[in-house]
Structure 1
Amino acid sequence: MRLKLVAVAIAALAPVVAMLGYNEIATRVQRSHEVRAQAAQAARQASSEVERIVEGLRSLLIAVTSIPSVRHLDAVACDDALASLSAKVSNIGAIFVIRTDGSPVCGSVPIPADASFADRDYVRKALADKQFAAGNYTRSRVSDSAVIPFAMPVIDGVNVTAIVISGIRADWLQARITERGVPRGNAVTIADAAGVIVARVPFPEKFVGTVIPDEFQPLIHANQPGTIEVTSQDGTERVLGYRPITPPSSPLYVSAGFSKDEAFSPIDRATIINLLGIVAGGLVSMVLAVFIGHRFILVPITEIAVVMTRWKAGSVDARTGMRPTDELHAVGAALDDLLDELDRRRVLNEKTEEERTLLVRELAHRVKNGFALVQAIARQTFARADPDRYGSFSERLTALASTYDLILSKEGSASHIRQVIEAALLAHSSDQDRVSISGPNLMLSPDLALPLSLILHELATNATKYGSLSVDTGKVDIRWSENDGRIDLTWQEIGGPAVVKPTRKGFGSILIERAFPSGAKAETASDFRADGLRFELSFQVAEQEVDLGVTSGRCDEGGNA
């Protein structure tokens, strides 16, 4: 029962757990969408800032191309102008002008006369496209610092006459990203077209100057921005928002990664708290279920069971003493009412039984008086005139009286067939070894016991006069069995004088044939064998009269009648 109560408590918690599980999944899905949106937004903001920086440098280089000394390649005036301009812009390393063959003309810092920039890809691109061009992360040949170089052609009509070159300092760009800051676990990466990382937060000292892994290279030149889940080079699982290179406005690749652990840490904490709450609530529910179930369910049930067991064992005064305050106590109160009613009926039945017993005893007394009166009348009427017939009549009357004694001693109820047979044969054989009986222990109603007693008495009388009981060596064997509601009885005489079949049918024969009522459907058969009479009797009994117990033996402990 306790396990069932615990199961009920678990079943009650199941919907709560299911709802929390659903909310957990829904919250995580929603949070995943939020993180992706935030990563995309962070990448877009970082890319926008890089675009503003590049656009500012582009505007600066356009302005430089408009300086007369630059357009006329006046080296002395150009040096002064560029030096003055460079001092006012902190994010660039140097500004210088070169000819179309790559040789230097002037600059904000001294440039070796033998230096050449013709091999730089951004220079060749600016000459070929005649527009603003960005290079990859490199070390400047002028300032020897890490820069992202840019070139702007100086155009006179349709011809490129010179190229203005400058670059965004990588250390300045790194400082700018670092100043913006990123939440713990997040990361911002800026890389050039070759995938070389030019700035990164966190761990710039570990990643700046290295190349983005091959599996992420397709993101640099992707067709459009997007978000993916990745495991970064630092081993952190992140949701990565990325912005691919789209020249000329966005010459650098930008990505912003949000740590999944950090992004989902509030949800994870809430999940742990919810799980602990569920476990604690489940334990409390189970304890309360066991306690309340024991107090309000198990105790009443146990008390009812104990009362029933005590009453069954004989304690007729056992009661639960419950009041119908709830369903179980109502059952206990109903049980008390039932036991009170059964006790009342028991007392009434005992009183009725006493009255019936008294009536039966009075009836038995009157029946015996009736038999005695009949016997006295018979004796006075023809005892002297016909002693033999009187003796036969007296014996039959005595057998009938004995059977009535047996039936009345059972107070009008059914009698054992063995006892009926023993009573019928009591007057015919004092030798216990001469009559044997055996068969199952069956019950007979009074309307069957009386005719059976008369028939057996008649057979015993004939056996005493003419059959096996008329000599000292003769015996009688009586056996019976029950099959499908019928009793089959066999009377077998053994060791008597030779049997002669009677020539006429006397009163005894008629009695044997007609003793049973028609409802018994009695059948008889007599076989007058030379070695002894064999009589077979079969009659119908009601099912309730048959007792399933079986006995085998003879009339008494010695096995004889």
Structure 2
Amino acid sequence: MRAKLVAVAVAALAPVIAMLAYNEVAMRLQRSQEVRMQAAQAARQASFEVERIVEGLRWLMVAVTAMPSVRHQDANTCNEALTSLAANVPNIQTLFVLSPAGTPICGSAAIPRTTNFADRDYFKKALQTKAFVVGRYTKSRVSDSPVLPLAMPVVEGDRVRAVVVSGIRLDWLQNRVTERGIAPGSAVTIADDTGTILARVPLAERFVGTVIPPDFQKLIHADEPGVINVMSQDGTERVLGYRPISEAGLPLYVSAGFSTAEAFGPIDRATVNNVIGIVLGVATAFCLSMFIGKRFILTPISHIADVMERWRGGEAAARTRMNGTDELAAVGASLDRLLDELDCRRTQNESVEEERMLLVRELTHRVKNGFALVQAIARQTFARSDPDRYRSFSERLAALGGTYDLILSREGLASPIRAILTAALRAHVASEAQNVSLDGPDFVLPPDLALPLSLVVHELATNATKYGSLGTECGTVEVLWKRDGKRLVLTWTESGGPTVINTGKKGFGSVLIERAFPAKFEPKCLADYRPEGLVFELSFTAVEMKAEIDAIASKVEIA
């Protein structure tokens, strides 16, 4: 019952737990989508910032290429103008003009005349494309600090007359990214087209100037922006939004990532709290179900079961004394009414039983009187004319009367086979009990089997007394019976008597033996006239009655 109560509690909690689990999964999916959108948005904003910076410097350099001193390569005027301009633009390192051969013409800072920039990739690309070029991570030959070089050719017709060169200070770019601020656990990375990191938050000192790992190189030149889950170089798992380099748009790779631990931290904490709450709720529900179940279910059921056991044990006054409106109280009250009705019926049955016993005793008396009357008529009719037949008839009538006494003493229901055999043999072995032995399992026969069996055994004993082993002092009779499936097999074995001779004639006793049993019991009998004594086997179908075998019958001995 306790297991059933637990099952009920689990069934009651299952929908709540399922709903909480569904909400948990839904919240995580929603939060995952929100974080991915935030990562993509953060990457987009960072890329817009980079584009704005680069685009502003591009227009600055376009303006420089339009200056007369630059176009006419007036070194003194150009130096003054570039120096003044560079002083007002804090995000660039220097601003100078190079000849197509890579030698300096003028600039915002003094450059040795022997310095040549013809080997720089950004310078070569500017000469080749005749367009604005954003270079790669470079150590400046002027200041020896890391910069992101920019180049703008001065074109007249189809010929490049000079190249205006500048560089974004990476320390300024790093400060600009840092000032924007990021959420705890987040990261922003800016890299050139080779994957060299130009600026990074956090841990700039560790990663600036290094190359993005090969696993992420494919993102730099991806076909379109995207969002992925990655394990960053600093060991943090992040949702990463990235913006690849594009020919018509962004000249640099930009990525922004959010730490999954930080992003899902509130949900994880809420999950832990929910789990703790669920565990406490389940434990509380189980405890309450056990307490309430024991108080309102188990205790009443145990009380009802105890009353039933006491009533079965003979305590007729046992009652639940339960009343109330709940179902178990109604069951207890119904049980009390049932027991009251059973007691009433038992009282009525006892009264009827007393009347029946009175009738049985009256019937027994009348049957005995009937037998006595028949006995008297027989004695008056042929006791003198035929004493032998009268004695045989009288013995048979006595055996039948003994069997009726046995049946009537057992209230007409059934009799143990041992008691039936003892009653049938009593007239023949009253003084020679040692000559007969009975052996077999306890078995109760109904009245319609007890009477014919009594008559058969009486006839066998009569014949044994006249012609067989019971007619001598040393003769013995062994009666054995056993169960064989649904049939009962009884064997009558004589020994120690005179030599047996089968004359083939059938007297009244032989016919009685063969025809005593009703056909519905499928009787079979077999007589073996052995020289040392008769062996008679009788079998018939017998189903044991549902009655207790008389304890006294098992102890009956032939007296």
Q: TM-score, normalised by structure 2?
A: 0.88
Please name the residue that 2:309 is paired with: 309
Please name the residue that 1:168 is paired with: 168
Secondary structure in 1 matching 2:20: helix
**Partners of 1:484 and 1:497 in 2: how far apart?**
36
Q: Give the counterpart letter for 1:415 in structure 2.
A: S
Q: Give the counterpart letter for 2:403 in structure 1.
A: T
**Partners of 1:65 and 1:519 in 2: how far apart?**
134
Q: Give the counterpart letter for 1:101 in structure 2.
A: A
Cα separation, partners in 2 of 1:517 and 1:244, compared to 1, 3 Å: closer
Cα separation, partners in 2 of 1:159 and 1:366, compared to 1, 3 Å: closer
Please name the residue that 2:432 is paired with: 431
More off after superposition, 422-431 vs 320-329:
320-329
Please name the residue that 1:184 is paired with: 184
**Partners of 2:503 and 2:526 in 1: how far apart?**
14
Cα separation, partners in 2 of 1:548 and 1:141, compared to 1, 3 Å: same
Please name the residue that 1:284 is paired with: 284
Once the two structures are TM-superposed, the CA of residue 405 in structure 1 deviates from its matched residue by 2.4
Q: Give the counterpart letter for 2:497 in structure 1.
A: G
Once the two structures are TM-superposed, the CA of residue 368 in structure 1 deviates from its matched residue by 2.7
Write out per-residue CA displacement over residues 492-532 of structure 1, whole angstroms, 9 at most, x where no aligned residue. Answer: 44333445667976655565555555666656666665544
CA contact 2:483–2:489 (8 Å) conserved in 1 = yes
Please name the residue that 1:52 is paired with: 52
Cα separation, partners in 2 of 1:476 and 1:111, compared to 1, 3 Å: closer
Once the two structures are TM-superposed, the CA of residue 153 in structure 1 deviates from its matched residue by 2.0
Please name the residue that 2:76 is paired with: 76
Gap runs ≥5 in structure 1:
none
Matches within 5 A, 1:38-437: 38-247=38-247, 250-323=250-323, 325-379=325-379, 383=383, 388=388, 390-429=390-429, 430-437=431-438
**Partners of 1:236 and 1:177 in 2: how far apart?**
20
Q: Give the counterpart letter for 2:229 in structure 1.
A: E
Once the two structures are TM-superposed, the CA of residue 345 in structure 1 deviates from its matched residue by 2.4
Secondary structure in 2 matching 1:64: helix
Matches within 5 A, 1:455-466: 455-466=456-467
Cα separation, partners in 2 of 1:83 and 1:529, compared to 1, 3 Å: closer
Secondary structure in 1 matching 2:440: strand
Gap runs ≥5 in structure 2:
none
Once the two structures are TM-superposed, the CA of residue 22 in structure 1 deviates from its matched residue by 3.4
CA contact 1:191–1:254 (8 Å) conserved in 2 = yes
CA contact 1:133–1:248 (8 Å) conserved in 2 = no
Secondary structure in 1 matching 2:97: strand
**Partners of 2:136 and 2:164 in 1: how far apart?**
17
Q: Give the counterpart letter for 2:273 in structure 1.
A: I
Please name the residue that 1:470 is paired with: 471
**Partners of 2:57 and 2:555 in 1: how far apart?**
134
Matches within 5 A, 1:511-526: 512=513, 515=516
Secondary structure in 2 matching 1:319: coil
Cα separation, partners in 2 of 1:358 and 1:243, compared to 1, 3 Å: same
Cα separation, partners in 2 of 1:195 and 1:463, compared to 1, 3 Å: closer
Write out per-residue CA displacement over residues 292-325 of structure 1, whole angstroms, 9 at most, x where no aligned residue. Answer: 2222332232223222222222222222233473
Q: Give the counterpart letter for 1:16 in structure 2.
A: V
**Partners of 1:421 and 1:66 in 2: how far apart?**
145
CA contact 2:445–2:544 (8 Å) conserved in 1 = no
Secondary structure in 2 matching 1:240: strand
Once the two structures are TM-superposed, the CA of residue 400 in structure 1 deviates from its matched residue by 3.4
Cα separation, partners in 2 of 1:359 and 1:143, compared to 1, 3 Å: same
CA contact 1:440–1:549 (8 Å) conserved in 2 = no
Once the two structures are TM-superposed, the CA of residue 185 in structure 1 deviates from its matched residue by 1.0
CA contact 1:9–1:286 (8 Å) conserved in 2 = yes
CA contact 1:493–1:532 (8 Å) conserved in 2 = yes
**Partners of 2:156 and 2:230 in 1: how far apart?**
49
4+ aligned runs moved over 6 Å, structure 1: 502-505, 546-551
Please name the residue that 1:5 is paired with: 5
**Partners of 2:81 and 2:196 in 1: how far apart?**
33
**Partners of 1:533 and 1:213 in 2: how far apart?**
114
CA contact 1:54–1:249 (8 Å) conserved in 2 = no
Once the two structures are TM-superposed, the CA of residue 181 in structure 1 deviates from its matched residue by 0.9
Once the two structures are TM-superposed, the CA of residue 180 in structure 1 deviates from its matched residue by 0.9
CA contact 2:39–2:239 (8 Å) conserved in 1 = yes
Once the two structures are TM-superposed, the CA of residue 448 in structure 1 deviates from its matched residue by 4.1
Once the two structures are TM-superposed, the CA of residue 16 in structure 1 deviates from its matched residue by 3.3
Secondary structure in 2 matching 1:275: helix
Please name the residue that 1:32 is paired with: 32
- Could you tell me the percent identity over the aligned residues? 63
**Partners of 1:43 and 1:555 in 2: how far apart?**
106
Please name the residue that 2:450 is paired with: 449
Cα separation, partners in 2 of 1:198 and 1:377, compared to 1, 3 Å: closer
CA contact 2:191–2:197 (8 Å) conserved in 1 = yes
Once the two structures are TM-superposed, the CA of residue 197 in structure 1 deviates from its matched residue by 1.9
More off after superposition, 127-136 vs 48-57:
127-136
More off after superposition, 468-477 vs 492-501:
492-501
CA contact 1:65–1:71 (8 Å) conserved in 2 = yes
**Partners of 2:457 and 2:428 in 1: how far apart?**
11
Q: What RMSD over aligned residues (CA atoms) do the two structures have, in Å?
A: 3.3
CA contact 2:523–2:541 (8 Å) conserved in 1 = no
CA contact 1:46–1:254 (8 Å) conserved in 2 = yes
Q: Give the counterpart letter for 2:53 in structure 1.
A: I
More off after superposition, 457-466 vs 269-278:
457-466
CA contact 2:222–2:244 (8 Å) conserved in 1 = yes
Secondary structure in 2 matching 1:543: coil
Write out per-residue CA displacement over residues 115-170 of structure 1, whole angstroms, 9 at most, x where no aligned residue. Answer: 33333222222222222222223233334443222222223333222222222222
CA contact 1:438–1:554 (8 Å) conserved in 2 = no
CA contact 1:379–1:390 (8 Å) conserved in 2 = yes
Cα separation, partners in 2 of 1:519 and 1:255, compared to 1, 3 Å: closer
Matches within 5 A, 1:504-515: 508=509, 512=513, 515=516
CA contact 2:190–2:254 (8 Å) conserved in 1 = yes
Write out per-residue CA displacement over residues 321-345 of structure 1, whole angstroms, 9 at most, x where no aligned residue. Answer: 3347344444333333333333222
Cα separation, partners in 2 of 1:82 and 1:316, compared to 1, 3 Å: same
Cα separation, partners in 2 of 1:211 and 1:490, compared to 1, 3 Å: closer
